[in-house]
Every structure is written in structure tokens, then in C-alpha cells.
A and B are shown apart, each in its own frame.
Chain A
Amino acid sequence: GAGVSQSPRYKVAKRGQDVALRCDPISGHVSLFWYQQALGQGPEFLTYFQNEAQLDKSGLPSDRFFAERPEGSVSTLKIQRTQQEDSAVYLCASSLDRGPENIQYFGAGTRLSVL
């Protein structure tokens, strides 16, 4: 596809439910990032993949959050036993190469509401 695709766009979960959020990066992009954007805030880093390797997961808020990118393309962010504080927009971004100077291209995000 032409851009980063995320699904679902909207997800409503009951507290305690597990959810899985999908990201399809731009084809050929080496780097993939997940960010969490709370209402009225800027995005905050969650985790970073270079191909299939998860090189930085320092931003994951708890062990309930898990991300994978098994074949170096599609990535899934999983949240177990969701809590109300997990309600946010989850953004995925990809970039062509390694290096902090590379442009990150963002998807439209998944808006998660935990009731």
C-alpha cells in the first residue's frame, strides 16, 4: 500500500479484555515504531523494531503490553487485561532505514476505548 495501515481504526474493550492492534508498514521499511497518544497529549514512544528484532521496548508501560514483528513486516501490539488508563490512540510509524534522521511515516492510528 501507499502508506502505513492500521486496524482496527476503533476498538472498544471491556476492562480485563485482551486486545490486538495491527500495523502494516510501508513495504520495504526497515524500522517500525509504536506510540501511544493520550487525549490532548503528544505521542509517547512505546517500542521500536528493526526488521524482526525488537531493539527498544523501554516505553511499554507494563508487562501487559507486548509487541511483535515476526517476519519483519506486519506488527501486532497486544494489550492483556486492559485497564481504563490504556484508553488512547495507538499510532504505528515506519521508516525506510535505521538512524534517527530518517522520516517516520505514521498510520491513522487505532483509538482504543476501555470501558
Chain B
Amino acid sequence: AQSVTQLGSHVSVSEGALVLLRCNYSSSVPPYLFWYVQYPNQGLQLLLKYTTGATLVKGINGFEAEFKKSETSFHLTKPSAHMSDAAEYFCAVSGKNTGFQKLVFGTGTRLLVSP
């Protein structure tokens, strides 16, 4: 079965520092890959997705992620953290190995940003 691993349940950075949130997936077939952000008491909002084509994907709010097939990874980065980036981030996959339509999520990483 498809699974997603997010290393680190909490990541703390200072404002202006690099943000790196890790995501690895297990699949014999490259899946479709997504990053979602969840603010308190809100639903999930899509940051970016990878389906095919260019492996470096740019999303909203200055985030980007790179699909590395050899490492089965899809890490999320942002060059300079802002206080408003503090939230819960979820990596998710879909595709043939997930039962096709549904998203399979990681357990999430809470990003804490200090001034």
C-alpha cells in the first residue's frame, strides 16, 4: 500500500530563515504528489502539486518542491520564512497505488516561526 512519511512532527525556524519540510513516499510507480497547508480551524489549502513534467514545482506564497524519483522524495522549501507561514503542512499522494482517486496523507509537520 502507498504510504507517505513526513520526517519531523515539528519544525522551528526563525523569521527569514530557510524552511525545509521533508516528505518521502513509498511506491513502485511514481504517484501524483501534493503539499497542503492547514491553518487552525480551517480546511486544507493546496500549496503545489506535481503530476508530470518539470520536477521543480513552484507554488503559492513562495513555496516550491522538487520531485526526486531516485530518492522517492518531494521536500517542500521556502527561502525565507514569514510569521504567517506558521501552520500545519501535509504531504499527500494519489495515483495508481493509492486506489487511484483518493489522497493518502502523511502525519503532518507543524511549522513554528519565531521572530
Neighbouring B residues of A1 by C-beta, 8 Å: none
Nearest residue, chain A, Cβ from B50: A101
| CB atoms of B105 and A101 under 8 A apart | no
Number of A interface residues in the complex (CB < 8 A): 29
| Known contacts A43-B44, A91-B43, A101 near B51 by CB under 8 Å | yes
A109 to chain B: closest residue by CB: B43
Grouping DSSP codes into helix (H, G, I), strand (E, B) and loop, the A interface class, with mixed when no group exceeds half, is: loop
**Bound CA span A42–B6, Å:** 10
In the complex, the answer to whether A45 meets B43 with C-beta atoms within 8 Å is: no
For the complex, give the distance between the alpha carbons of A93 and B101 in Å: 12
The answer, yes or no, to whether B49 is at the interface (CB within 8 Å) is yes
Q: How far is the CB of A53 from the nearest CB of chain B, in Å?
A: 12
CB-based A-B contact count at 8 angstroms: 69
**Segment 97-115 of B: residues with Cβ below 8 Å from A:** 98-108
Chain B hits for A103, CB < 8 A: 34, 46, 49
- Is A100 a contact of B43 with CB atoms below 8 Å? no
Q: Which of B44, B45, B102, B104 contacts A91 (CB 8 A)?
A: B44
**Is there contact, CB below 8 Å, between B105 and A42?**
yes
A41 within 8 A of B: yes
Which of A55-63, A64-72, A78-86 is the contact stretch? A55-63
Q: Which residues of B does A touch, CB under 8 Å?
A: 4, 31-32, 34, 36, 41-46, 49, 51, 90, 92, 94-96, 98-108
Residue ranges of A at the interface with B (Cβ–Cβ < 8 Å): 4, 31, 33, 35, 40-45, 48, 50, 55-56, 58-59, 91, 93, 98-101, 103-109
